[in-house]
Amino acid sequence: MVADGNAYVVSDDFKKDVFIPRRYTYRALNGDEVLFRVTPSKSRQNKMTGQVMNIVKRADHEYTGIIDIDKDRAIFAADNKKIPYYFVVPFGKLKEAEHDEKVVVKFSRWVERDELPIGEVIRVLGKPGEHHTEIDSILYEFNIDQEFNDETMVESEKIVDFISSDEINKRRDFRKVLTFTIDPDDAKDFDDAISYEVLANGNYEIGVHIADVTHYVLPHTALEKTAMERATSVYLVDRVVPMLPEKISNVLCSLRPNEDKLTFSTVLEMTPEAKVVSAWFGKTIIHSDKRFTYDEVQQIIDTEQGIHAEEILKVNSLAKFLQQERFKHGAINFDSDEIKIKLDENNEPIEIYQYQRKDSHKLIEELMLLANKKVAEVLNNHKFTSVNRVHDAPETTKLSTLTSFAKRFGYEINAKSDRTIAASINAMLKDSEGKPEQHIISHFAIRSMPKAYYSTKKTGHYGLGYMHYSHFTSPIRRYPDMMTHRLLQEYLLKHKSPDAELLEKLCKHSTEKEVSAAEAERASKKYKQMQFLQKLIGSTHEAIISGTTEWGMYAEIVANKCEGMIRLSSLHDDQYTYDEQHFMVIGNRTKKSYKIGDKIQIKIMAADPIRRQADFELAM
pLDDT in tens, 151-203: 999 999 999 989 999 999 999 999 999 999 999 998 888 999 999 999 999 99
Residues 586-607 pLDDT 10s: 999 999 999 888 899 999 999 9
Q: Which of 497, 524, 551 marks a domain boundary?
A: 524
Question: Does residue 403 belong to any structural domain of this protein?
Answer: yes
Reduce the DSSP state of residue 441 to 3 states and report it: helix
Residue 273 and residue 288 in one domain: yes
pLDDT at 46: 64
Same domain? For 349 and 494 the reply is: yes
Q: What average pLDDT does this structure show over 545-573?
A: 93
What is the reported pLDDT for 301?
Answer: 98
Asked whether residue 195 falls in the same domain as residue 311, the answer is: yes
CATH code assigned at 556? 2.40.50.140
Rounded Cα–Cα distance for residues 22 and 28 (Å): 10
Q: In this predicted structure, what is the pLDDT of residue 260?
A: 97
Mean pLDDT confidence for 368-381: 97
DSSP output for 594-606 = EETT-EEEEEEEE
> Are residues 499 and 380 part of one domain?
yes
Q: For the residues of 87-148, what is the DSSP string, one character each?
A: EEE-GGGSTT--TT-EEEEEEEE--TT-SS-EEEEEEEEESTT-HHHHHHHHHHHTT---SP
48 CB-side CA count, 13 A: 16
CA distance 367 to 471: 13
pLDDT in the model for residue 289: 97
Q: Mark whether 540 and 520 lie in a shared domain.
A: no
Residue 454 has pLDDT above 80, yes or no: yes
For residue 196, being part of any structural domain is answered with yes
Residue 39 clears pLDDT 90, i.e. is over it: no
Give the model's pLDDT for residue 345. Answer: 95
Last residue of a domain, one of 524, 553, 575: 524
Residue 79: give its domain's CATH number.
2.40.50.700
The yes-or-no verdict on residue 483 having pLDDT over 90 is yes
* In the predicted structure, residue 580 carries a pLDDT above the cut 90: no
Q: Does residue 552 form part of some domain?
A: yes
Start-to-end Cα distance in the chain: 39
The pLDDT value recorded for residue 258 is: 96
Instruction: State whether 336 and 270 are in the same domain.
Output: yes
Mean pLDDT for 120-140 is 95
Same domain for 330 and 275, yes or no, is yes
Tens-digit pLDDT profile for residues 432-442: 887 777 778 88
- Indicate whether 219 pLDDT > 70: yes
Is residue 377, in this structure, part of any structural domain at all? yes
DSSP string over 344-389 = -TTS-EEEEEEE---HHHHHHHHHHHHHHHHHHHHHHHTT----EE
DSSP letter string, 242-308: -SS-HIIIIIISS--TTSEEEEEEEEEEE-TT--EEEEEEEEEEEE--EEEEHHHHHHHHHHS-STT
Average pLDDT over residues 255-278: 97
Tell me the per-residue pLDDT of 316-348, one tens digit each, with 9 for 90 and over: 999 999 999 999 888 998 877 788 999 999 999
Q: 472 and 466 in contact (C-beta within 8 Å)?
A: no
Q: What is the mean pLDDT of residues 284-301?
A: 97
In a domain, 46, yes or no: yes
Task: For residues 332 and 155, give the distance between their C-alpha atoms in angstroms, rounded to a whole number.
Answer: 43
| CA–CA dist 383, 573 (Å, integer) | 65
Categorize the per-residue pLDDT at 286 as very low, low, confident or very high, splitting at 50, 70 and 90.
very high
pLDDT digits (tens, 9 = 90+) for 208-218: 999 999 999 99
Exposure pattern of 205-243 as b/e (b: 16+ CB <10 Å)?
bbbbbbbbbbbbbeeeebbbebbbebbbbbebbeebbbb
- Rounded average pLDDT over 345-373: 94
Using one digit for the tens of pLDDT, what is the confidence trace for 503-557?
Answer: 999 999 999 999 999 999 999 999 999 999 999 999 999 999 999 999 999 999 9
β pairing state of 613-618 and 563-567:
parallel
Mean pLDDT value of segment 359-372: 97
What per-residue confidence (pLDDT) applies to 202? 96
**Mean of per-residue pLDDT scores for the chain:** 93
Q: Is 530 part of a structural domain of the chain?
A: no
Q: Are residues 401 and 443 in the same domain?
A: yes
For 130-152, what is the mean pLDDT? 94
Domain assignment present for 529: no
Q: What is the pLDDT of residue 187?
A: 87
Pick the range with the lowest mean pLDDT from 102-116, 136-150, 325-339.
325-339
Residue range(s) defining the domain that contains residue 361: 150-392+451-524
Is residue 44 predicted with pLDDT exceeding 80?
Answer: no
Same domain, 372 and 512: yes
170 and 70 in a single domain? The answer is: no
Instruction: Report the C-alpha gap between 134 and 120 in whole angstroms.
Output: 20
Q: How far apart are CA 17 and CA 1, in angstroms?
A: 12
At residue 132 the predicted structure's pLDDT band, cuts being 50, 70 and 90, is very high
Give residue 45's pLDDT: 58
Which residues does 473 contact at the CB level (< 8 Å), separation at least 6? 191, 192, 208, 210, 368, 371, 372, 481
Domain count, the chain: 5
Asked if residue 219 and residue 280 are part of one domain, the reply reads yes
90 domain-assigned: yes
Q: Do 253 and 371 fall into the same domain?
A: yes
- Dist CA 210 CA 206 (whole Å): 13
pLDDT of res. 582: 83
Dist CA 387 CA 210 (whole Å): 17
Alpha carbon distance 130, 526 (integer Å): 15
